[in-house]
Structure 1
Amino acid sequence: MWVIEMNIIEYVNTTSKEIDTNRHLDALILAQSIYFEFEKIPFFNEKLPLKIADLEKEKASEAFRLGEKSVFKKNHVHFINALIQNPVFQNVQIVDFQNQLVEEIDKQFAAITYLVNGNKLFIAFRGTDSTMIGWKEDFNMMYSEYVPSQLSAKAYLEQTASQYPYEVTVSGHSKGGNIAVYAATTCKEEYVNRIKKVYNFDGPGFPIEFANSERYNNILKITEKYVPQFSFFGTLMNSSEPIFVIKSSSVSLYQHDPYSWLIKEGELIRVNEISPISRQLSNSISTWLKTVSKEQRERATDELFQGFKRLNICTIDDLRNFLSIQSIKDISIIYNSVDPEIRSYVIEISKELLRLFLFDREKEENKSFYRKLSFIRRLG
């Protein structure tokens, strides 16, 4: 019998299976829902608690307006509409939501708490959004002991667990997966025993000191990490979490998008290993990090994002639209005034970004991939 492969939107449109918060596919669905812009529903927090089905009444709000939204944001709207219509998911209750964007401290944080079946809490942390503030916070992880979103995630988990006496599942995609693991690892001991599962969907790892800590290693027994074949973010830095590699319908960096992850017979489709190009990119970053001090990483990161600001690049869409072979040369001019000691590090970071955004729509065997790779290696 031929079995259809589908994505999570198609799955939600067809499934009637009871939700299990400790099942990886249901965890991915609820984790992905945090990307919907709940913050654009007027007075949303004041309306809580409410069922997902109740969001039907908010469809006139900006949150549901497709307009000029990117493909990713449109998918978030289609996805939440699917949840609203599904007889199982529409009864899940939203009991809390937070959203914070603070440029002064490079903080981009959002979290949601669901009450499932009346007796289980599910906390989802949002990953990096399209703002350069969010991406700057991600880069800060390369040299900081912790970043603001990690501390906020810990506080959010403790606050939520203190309000409800139920078992808890913690999850997130991308940076959201990282801060989910961080929160579960560092929260007060009184709440750790109530955490039944931690899901990290293609989120980065941690500094070596954190990854070697006893508390991190203790949380591994209830933690699962899912990454696509081309995983860049999920293989950065240090991680000992059990990894499951997932089949994607997309290529290169676009595999980071869970809407491309494939499902068959109610399970994410697993494959044997991460792709060679993915390993090459993550290994080159890891090697670079080992040769550069924390202070140099910090200065290089600050210079890089100051350069983006001077180029009026405020979102990832701005960066993607700006990049071309010609614009690479234009970008290099911006960094000519950077301290020579740091300039080489800025160029190294730029190279990795350029690899990602120039190749994200091309298959790895495509000759133009290697032509562009050769060009970038000659930069600097």
Structure 2
Amino acid sequence: MLKYRAEDYASLCALTYLDIPEYRKGMLFSTYVEQCFLKGCKENEFYQRLHEYVMKQNFYEFMDLEIVNYVNENNHSGLVFYQLEDKNDCYLIYRGSELYDAVNHENGWEDWLDNLEIWLGITNQQLRAMKYFNELNTQKRLHLIGHSKGGNIALFLGVACSDEKMSQIDEIVTFNAPGINDDMMMQYKKRIQDIHFKNKILCIENENDPISSMFSHVKEPVLVSSIYKGASVEEAYHSHQIWAYEKKDGYFVSAAKKSILPRLADLVSNHFVNLLDEENKKKFVHKFMEYCQNDCSLEEMYHVVLYNIGIHQNLLSEDEDFRSVEIQTLLSLFQKEMKEKVISIPESVKASFDEVKSKVEGWVNQVGKKQ
């Protein structure tokens, strides 16, 4: 049973993307909200949409909460979270990944480098969050809440914390959060399979969000309809954001299943990358880390994707047991995005991609024959 509505927690997650302009320990949440409403927003599409969303929300339920701690490591680890408290409860709300800020240099690629590390093990942000969590000296009930990478951190804390801390956790609520890697699923298998632990978790995902389809689910998510169709990469990006959940009379509208692009993300992340051995997985991840550190354009990122699929395509086998998904539709949609975003693709890379395309079409034909 949630202390507040999931829709209200989503509003809190949105607000945590806005820095506290004049933070002082013990300030009331109402003061923070007033600062945010008066300050306006940055000249950036993300923050403009975020600010529009925040301005429409009702934060009445939280106004008397005290901001006991505010951690902003944007220029260090990328970890940002807010600690709000009332008489009996402590709310830890974790911010998700932020856009690279090349103008004001308030945040760099730390978030995205850390995101890539999820494939390889426990990340720096997760460790930093655990450090603060272990140092938390309170007997109050704990509520861990987060959007995107913030939700991933909330899940990690619940999965990896001590039994003592676990007994204090009342609920873990995540929005469009990626799961955790397979090694962690095995390492903390006992905790993850504990029914009492699962009952504390609520994972909410947008039907068109690809990010939350990556890595392993700790608990099956509740799917919510999107205000965007999700028929393109741009719409999938917007569907990932906290403002993209469809509501009716103030409540989320449920959805039946994930759409095409999220299934593509699942295919690449949970099948293609997980087929690689440790050495090749590190090479694959480090290639994308190079992208983050060299300020490449979106078009060049597509080249990186194609190149890496090309050099690793020999590791794919026709005998691999892939989940039954609409592979041909996914491939066609991905190719459509390629044509829209990429002006020219090197012939060597295109040849590698064509080989992968041919192999995937072979899988589709085999699946069709078996059916």
TM tier, smaller? 0.7 to 0.9
> Residues 328 and 133 (structure 1 numbering): CA distance in 2 closer, same or farther, change over 3 Å?
closer
1:301 alignment partner in structure 2: 285
Q: Which amino acid aligns with 2:193?
A: N
Decide whether the 8 Å contact of 2:53 with 2:243 is kept in 1: no
Q: Which amino acid aligns with 1:253?
A: Y
Cα distance in 1 for residues equivalent to 2:243 and 2:34: 25
Question: Is it true that 1:323 corresponds to 2:305 in the alignment?
Answer: no
Question: Is it true that 1:151 corresponds to 2:118 in the alignment?
Answer: no
The partner residue of 1:25 within 7, 27, 44 is 7
The partner residue of 1:124 within 70, 82, 93 is 93
Structural mapping, 1:164-243, within 5 Å: 164-212=138-186, 213-218=189-194, 219-243=197-221
1:140 alignment partner in structure 2: 117
Decide whether the 8 Å contact of 1:22 with 1:197 is kept in 2: no
- Tell me, what secondary structure is at the counterpart of 1:35? coil
> Residues 249 and 216 (structure 1 numbering): CA distance in 2 closer, same or farther, change over 3 Å?
same
1:246 alignment partner in structure 2: 224
Question: Is it true that 1:267 corresponds to 2:251 in the alignment?
Answer: yes
Question: Is it true that 1:72 corresponds to 2:46 in the alignment?
Answer: yes
- Tell me, what secondary structure is at the counterpart of 1:91? coil
CA deviation profile, 1:291-331 (whole Å, cap 9, x unmatched):
21223222332233324433x34xxxxxxxx334xx578x5
Cα distance in 2 for residues equivalent to 1:271 and 1:368: 22
Decide whether the 8 Å contact of 2:28 with 2:67 is kept in 1: yes
Cα distance in 2 for residues equivalent to 1:56 and 1:254: 24
Question: Is it true that 1:115 corresponds to 2:115 in the alignment?
Answer: no
Return the structure number with greater relative CO, CA threshold 8 A, min gap 6.
Answer: 1
Structure 1 stretches lacking a partner, 5+ long: 1-19, 314-321, 349-363
What is the root-mean-square deviation in Å for CA atoms of aligned residues?
A: 3.4
> Residues 263 and 206 (structure 1 numbering): CA distance in 2 closer, same or farther, change over 3 Å?
same
Question: Is it true that 1:344 corresponds to 2:326 in the alignment?
Answer: no
1:55 alignment partner in structure 2: 32
> Residues 254 and 82 (structure 1 numbering): CA distance in 2 closer, same or farther, change over 3 Å?
closer
Identity %: 15
CA deviation profile, 1:206-225 (whole Å, cap 9, x unmatched):
12232241122222221111
CA deviation profile, 1:223-242 (whole Å, cap 9, x unmatched):
11111111211111111313
CA deviation profile, 1:330-378 (whole Å, cap 9, x unmatched):
x56xx99xxxx998259x9xxxxxxxxxxxxxxx99x986533578894
> Residues 379 and 26 (structure 1 numbering): CA distance in 2 closer, same or farther, change over 3 Å?
farther
> Residues 35 and 288 (structure 1 numbering): CA distance in 2 closer, same or farther, change over 3 Å?
same
Please report how far the alpha carbon of residue 58 of structure 1 lies from its aligned counterpart in structure 2 after TM superposition: 4.1
Cα distance in 2 for residues equivalent to 1:56 and 1:177: 22
- Tell me, what secondary structure is at the counterpart of 2:63? helix
> Normalization by structure 2: what TM-score?
0.73
Cα distance in 2 for residues equivalent to 1:345 and 1:140: 19
2:365 alignment partner in structure 1: none
Cα distance in 2 for residues equivalent to 1:221 and 1:86: 26
Decide whether the 8 Å contact of 2:204 with 2:221 is kept in 1: yes
Decide whether the 8 Å contact of 1:210 with 1:216 is kept in 2: no
Question: Is it true that 1:90 corresponds to 2:90 in the alignment?
Answer: no
**How many residue pairs align between the two structures?**
311
Q: Which amino acid aligns with 1:323?
A: L
Please report how far the alpha carbon of residue 202 of structure 1 lies from its aligned counterpart in structure 2 after TM superposition: 1.2
> Normalization by structure 1: what TM-score?
0.71
Structure 2 stretches lacking a partner, 5+ long: 101-108, 231-235, 316-328, 353-371
Please report how far the alpha carbon of residue 65 of structure 1 lies from its aligned counterpart in structure 2 after TM superposition: 4.5
Cα distance in 2 for residues equivalent to 1:142 and 1:215: 21
Please report how far the alpha carbon of residue 190 of structure 1 lies from its aligned counterpart in structure 2 after TM superposition: 1.5
Please report how far the alpha carbon of residue 59 of structure 1 lies from its aligned counterpart in structure 2 after TM superposition: 5.9
Q: Which amino acid aligns with 2:82?
A: I
CA deviation profile, 1:37-81 (whole Å, cap 9, x unmatched):
22xx24x2xx121112223674699xx34342x222234444555
Cα distance in 1 for residues equivalent to 2:309 and 2:334: 28
Decide whether the 8 Å contact of 2:145 with 2:173 is kept in 1: yes
Decide whether the 8 Å contact of 1:248 with 1:261 is kept in 2: yes
- Tell me, what secondary structure is at the counterpart of 2:78? strand
> Residues 80 and 33 (structure 1 numbering): CA distance in 2 closer, same or farther, change over 3 Å?
same
2:105 alignment partner in structure 1: none
